[in-house]
Amino acid sequence: MRNIKLVLEYDGTAYAGWQRQKNAPTIQEAVEKSIFSITGEELSVTGCSRTDAGVHAKEFVCNFHTNSSIEASRFREALNAKLPEDIRIHKAVEVDESFHSRYDSKGKTYCYTILNQEVNSAIYRNFVCHVRYPLNINDMSSAARFFLGTHDFQAFRKLGSSVKTTTRTISQLELLKEGNIIRIYGTADGFLYNMMRIIAGTLIEIGLGRMKPEDIPLILEGNTGVKPGKVAPAQGLCLEKVYY
């Protein structure tokens, strides 16, 4: 069988995340239905990540195995003609049969966007986390440095998720401010479930003065007396890049 790799961009507002669900629309379902309409094959598309409901992606990589003889590059236009406009295929290429978009990934970059002003935006509300009170970006940046390196991120994942290890290496956690927009860029060899959103929620708490930058190493060291912030809203998160 042939193995086709797709690079997607999507607005996750109307979807219950990537992974197929019984009673809710998902990105995976939309892509699989579009492939079926072209090839007649009922197949499963493997995604690089299980993004949550409302999370967006500028570069999401997935792959599927097919018996179709359609030229790989033609899948882009064919699928875009079938998919809703909030999901776009930017690239379709044939890859080695062993390629696995999730397990072969060496890392990912996410961006979490905060709109820091008194009133939320009517236009951008589905793409930002609105924080009405002023944030201290200097304290947030100071705190971000403590996340760099290899740590056990047990405290920065949603309870109930099952993984072999909760140790991850963060190579970048950077805050950029432009007007009332604050963007948090995070790059790691892997992210635990809700890890980036909990990091963002924690940095917001620090920016509001409810936590201190020095709380971060205590949490990473397993000090149960200090808790991370809440899971930040999904709509502020966007998968920017996947590395192979």
Q: By CB neighbour count within 10 A (0-12 exposed, 13-18 middle, 19+ buried), where does 81 fall?
A: exposed
Q: Which amino acid is it at 65?
A: H
Question: 52 an active-site residue?
Answer: yes
217 Cβ partners below 8 Å, 6+ apart? 146
Neighbouring C-alpha atoms within 13 Å toward the C-beta of 185: 9
Whole-angstrom Cα distance, residue 172 to residue 97? 32
Distance, C-alpha 108 to centroid of its chain: 8
- 52, 86, 139, 152: the catalytic one is 52
Residue 117 tokens read as: 């002003």
Query: Would you name the residues annotated as active-site residues?
Result: 52
